[in-house]
Structure formats: structure tokens, C-alpha cells
């Protein structure tokens, strides 16, 4: 499996500095709901400390943790893609500190600086590819271990 890409460390320093001018420091207490699936996706976060669980409601009584995120990880990408709704929910597994970015100012900055926009899209794509690969591996383990065949 490829190594996880971290948004802020993957951006070249001048682009990272420009993006960070839009950052706001936020915190979430343990067990806080950060966002719910289906809600308006108008921001994203880079986790500074703590852990966040991405959750999917499978039935009215059952939720599944899709991924666990920690320091340096990107939380939220639905702000980039129509219909701009969260695909999953997110909960603070522990107290969390993060940088929060509102989507509209970031998108305006990307329009103003196309090189930054291209870098940001490429890095988010790498992050998504890595998470997809990790999810596929978990599914293979789960279904392989249960003797249900190969995906």
C-alpha cells in the first residue's frame, strides 16, 4: 500500500503559506459530531491533533467506521465536488484540534492562483486514492476471512 499523503506537507512551501492565510484554528471535544452525511459540505479541516472517525449509517441502528484519521490528515473533500454534500459523517474520537478552511475562500484563492489549485486537486486526488486502496484492503481482509469469496 502507498504511504498516506498529508495535505499541508505535500504542498510546496509558498503554496502552503498562501493556503494557511485562510486557516482558522478550531477544536472539537471527544464524541462531538463534526458533520453528518448529507449535510452541506462548505469547509474542510486538517487535523492537528486527536483522532476523527468517518462513519456511515448502514441501517437506522447500525453505524460503521469507514476510516480513522489523525494528525496531518485531511478531513472532508466533498466541498470540491457537486452536489457539495458530505458522503459520510465525522465524529471526534478524542479531543481534536484542527485547521478549518471555508470552501469558498479556498476556491477563490485557487482561481486566483491556478498553480495552487492544480496542486491542491492533485494532492486531494492522491489522498482519495490512498483511502480507496486502504478501504479495498480492509474489505478483502473482511470478506476473505469470512470465506465469502473475492471482491
**Would you state the cell numbers that stand for residue 132, as one nine-digit string?**
480507496
Rg of the chain over Cα atoms, rounded to whole angstroms, equals 16
Q: Check if the beta carbon of residue 8 is closer than 8 Å to that of residue 46.
A: yes
Can you give the pLDDT of all 151 residues of the chain as single tens digits? 456 779 999 999 999 999 999 999 999 999 999 999 999 999 999 999 999 999 887 777 787 788 899 999 999 999 999 999 998 899 999 999 999 999 999 999 999 999 999 999 999 999 988 888 877 776 677 666 555 554 4
pLDDT of residue 144: 66
CA–CA distance, 137 with 144 (Å, rounded to integer): 10
pLDDT of residue 139: 67
Amino acid at each position: 500500500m502507498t504511504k498516506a499523503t498529508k495535505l499541508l506537507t505535500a504542498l510546496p512551501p509558498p503554496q502552503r503559506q498562501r493556503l494557511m492565510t485562510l486557516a482558522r484554528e478550531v477544536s472539537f471535544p471527544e464524541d462531538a459530531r463534526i458533520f453528518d452525511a448529507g449535510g452541506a459540505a462548505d469547509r474542510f479541516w486538517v487535523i492537528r491533533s486527536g483522532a476523527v472517525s468517518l462513519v456511515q449509517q448502514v441501517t437506522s441502528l447500525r453505524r460503521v467506521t469507514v476510516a480513522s484519521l489523525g494528525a496531518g490528515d485531511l478531513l472532508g473533500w466533498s466541498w470540491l465536488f457537486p452536489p457539495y454534500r458530505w458522503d459520510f459523517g465525522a465524529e471526534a474520537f478524542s479531543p481534536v484540534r484542527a485547521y478549518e478552511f471555508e470552501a469558498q475562500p479556498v476556491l477563490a484563492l485557487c482561481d486566483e492562483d491556478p498553480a495552487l489549485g492544480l496542486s491542491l486537486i492533485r494532492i486531494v486526488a492522491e489522498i482519495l486514492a490512498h483511502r480507496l486502496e486502504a478501504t479495498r484492503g480492509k474489505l478483502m481482509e473482511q470478506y476473505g476471512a469470512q470465506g465469502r469469496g473475492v471482491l
